[in-house]
Amino acid sequence: MKKRWSVFFLIQLMCFSVVCQQEIECGTDVSSSDIKIIQQFIKTLKTSSSALTPLDSIVPIKFHIVGYSNGSSMIDSLSVFNEIDLVNTSYFNAGIRFKHCGNVNYIQDSDYALFEKINDETLCDSEDIENVLNVYFVPRLYKISNGDTVNICGYAYLSGLTKNRIIMKNSCATNGSTLAHEIGHYFSLFHTHSSSLGDELVNGSNCNSAGDTFCDTPADPTLSSSSVTSSCIYIGNEQDSNGDFYDPDVNNFMSYSRKSCRDFFSNDQLNQIAAYFFNYRNYLNCPLDIDQNLVAENLNFNIFPNPADEIIYINSNHVGGNLLFLKVHDLTGRLILDVVVSASFILDVQSYSLGSYFLTLSSGTEIRTKKFVKAR
């Protein structure tokens, strides 16, 4: 049995230093093989003119909750499932939902409660469920960098079929954005400030090939709590190599903005998540029973494309015997359409005037409204 109490006391000591005060947001690394695989995937995706398909596919996820041998410091499973509710909302427009596979796996082992990045994945090697996204929640998570011990919030693997896993530190796991961030990495997303493919310019001239490779996410100088206020306003004054000032998106999940500010994936990010799942992670499958009760089935739906010219696809998560009602109103409140629809359907908007409309779905017990725009 390995003993690392010296490391434990070292980390406690460092809590009086800058290292613990300035916790590293993400420990996900981008390897040369990751870059090669994802670069080829992005190239194929962007030359195929494929669009986000409004589907409702299940991604099986397995929770492993780690604590000390006496059972202490285990994260509350209810809080984790509440977080997955938030994650499902964030990923809904990618056409995927996360559902738990089997029962929660509780692990009481002090040797892994203080989890060292990669080295302690011997635990994961023995506990992983094959072809399922395994998420480990640990009381403490750190890595060794240049001889220093650094606390991290979580990390994931961008590619590779053998490591379907994410490691999360308990204190970061239920803040509303870090778990969504790490799952984003698992589905191929780089940080918005990534420089693995070169620095993205503010003018967007290299947005397809540098940074995070998305042109609908502005160049990011690497945000932090010192450059983003508690009101989610960017106050930095960094400039790119052309001397242009950055104007980053402080709400994007894949940034290093304040965790409380991050609540958004761009359309291009959602498109890539969906394509990566359907083409690369399509082997995911739960060998156990999916627990249908662990994740709330609140009525939700997506609209694609939006804005739209002629037709829009509406896909909802509605199940059961209740009828689903559709109403469309214009900005003045005038009722345009009132019909009964199926869970997924196509709406013809060719005759609609240009402008914004409100689309409301009602299941009899729940109501959800979203806005769409008739473009031309």
How many structural domains are present in the chain?
2
Query: 344: domain range?
Result: 301-374
DSSP 129: P
Residue given tokens 């469920």 in the structure block: 129
pLDDT band at 320 (very low <50, low <70, confident <90, very high): low
Q: What angle do CA 195, 197, 202 make, to 5 degrees?
A: 60
Domain boundary among 124, 158, 175: 175
Question: Do residues 97 and 58 touch, judged by C-beta distance below 8 A?
Answer: yes
Contact 34, 294 (CB under 8 A): no
Q: Give counts: helices (H), strands (E), the chain.
A: 9, 16
Q: 208 lies in a domain?
A: no
Higher-pLDDT residue of 317, 127: 127
Task: Give the CATH number, domain containing residue 335.
Answer: 2.60.40.1930
Q: Please name the residues in contact with 226: beta carbons below 8 A apart, sequence gap of 6 or more.
A: none
Assigned domain for 222 exists: no
DSSP H/E element including 108: strand 105-108
β-bridge pairing 148-151 and 140-145? antiparallel
* Mean pLDDT, the chain, whole residue set: 86
Q: Is 47 a domain residue?
A: no
318 shares a domain with 170 = no
CATH code, domain with 73: 3.40.390.10
- Band of residue 219 on the pLDDT scale cut at 50, 70, 90: very high
Q: What is the pLDDT of residue 344?
A: 84
Its sign, for the CA torsion 78, 81, 85, 86, is: positive
Q: Is residue 19 part of a domain?
A: yes
pLDDT at 297 over 60: no
Burial 218-242 (b: 16+ CB within 10 A, else e): bbbbbbeeebbeeeeebebebeeee
Point out the domain boundary residue: 110, 142, 175.
175
Specify whether 166 is located in the same domain as 310: no
Mean pLDDT of 317-341: 81
Give the model confidence (pLDDT) of 75-133 as tens digits.
999 899 989 988 988 998 888 889 999 889 999 999 999 999 999 999 999 999 999 99
Q: How far apart are CA 256 and CA 192, in angstroms?
A: 8
Summarised one tens digit per residue, pLDDT across range 24-70 is 789 998 888 888 888 777 777 666 544 445 466 889 999 999 999 99
DSSP secondary structure code for residue 255 in this structure: S
Residue 101: partners with Cβ closer than 8 Å, 6 or more residues away:
60, 61, 62, 129, 132, 286, 287, 288, 290, 291
Which of 175, 206, 236 terminates a domain? The answer is 175
360 pLDDT more than 90: no
pLDDT tens-digit map of 150-209: 999 999 999 877 799 999 999 999 999 999 999 999 999 999 999 999 999 999 999 999
Q: What's the rounded Cα separation, in Å, for the pair 16 and 175?
A: 23
Q: Which residues have a Cβ under 8 Å from the Cβ of 231 and sit 6 or more positions away?
A: none
Q: Cα 68 vs. chain centroid, distance in angstroms?
A: 28
Q: How far apart are the C-alpha atoms of 261 and 255, rounded to whole Å?
A: 10
User: Looking at the domain assignment, is residue 158 inside a domain?
Assistant: yes
* Of 239 and 8, more confident: 239
Per-residue model confidence (pLDDT) at position 290:
65
Flag whether 181 is in a domain. no
**Cα separation, 211 vs 221, whole angstroms:** 10
pLDDT tens-place string over residues 221-236: 999 999 999 999 999 9
Give domain status of residue 170, yes or no.
Answer: yes
CA distance 43 to 102: 37
Pairing of strands 57-67, 105-108: parallel
Domain contains 262: no
Q: What is the pLDDT of residues 249-279, one digit of tens each?
A: 999 999 999 999 999 999 999 989 988 998 8
361 pLDDT exceeds 80? yes
Give the Cα separation of 142 and 152 in Å (integer): 5
